[in-house]
Structure 1
Amino acid sequence: MTLHVLPRTAPPPARRLRRLLAWIAHLREQSRQRDELLSLSDHELRDIGISRYDAVTEARKPLWR
């Protein structure tokens, strides 16, 4: 009888799940920040040094960027 062992290079399932959940949390936070950026007035955007065009360009980026 042969015993098959998983290679040690593969991360344990719990670690993969934590990484997936952290990635999802990151995407949600990024989306929230982009929504917040769009809600700023032109005056507030000027205060932080970006234009309305820059804010819209950033907000339209796909989630993975």
Structure 2
Amino acid sequence: MTLHVFPRTGPPQARLRTLLAWIARTREERRQRAELLSLSDHELRDIGITRYDALTEARKGLWR
């Protein structure tokens, strides 16, 4: 599990950059999970995972 730590002190610009970076990472993870769900069973087998694995990954929350 990845722990995202946001600084509580420091310049507001640094805190804003940290928040924006977290948002960008979260959006990218969401996009990748959606793409994973769109793959066919054959394509999933090609990359070595099952449909169950893809569903499990796609259902993970934002904090994971």
Regarding TM over 0.5, the answer is yes
Report the alpha carbon displacement of residue 19 of structure 1 after superposing the two structures with TM. Answer: 0.3
- Runs of at least 5 residues in structure 1 that lack an aligned partner in the other structure: 1-9
Other-structure match for 1:19 = 18
* Aligned pairs, number: 56
Encode CA deviations 1:42-61: one digit per residue, 9 max, x unaligned: 00000000000000000001
Q: Which runs of 4+ in 1 moved over 6 A?
A: none
Q: What does 1:5-44 align with in structure 2 at a 5 Å threshold?
A: 10-44=9-43
Other-structure match for 1:59 = 58
TM-score (norm 2): 0.85
Q: Based on CA coordinates, which of the two structures has the bigger radius of gyration?
A: 1
Q: Give RMSD over aligned pairs.
A: 0.6
- Runs of at least 5 residues in structure 2 that lack an aligned partner in the other structure: 1-8
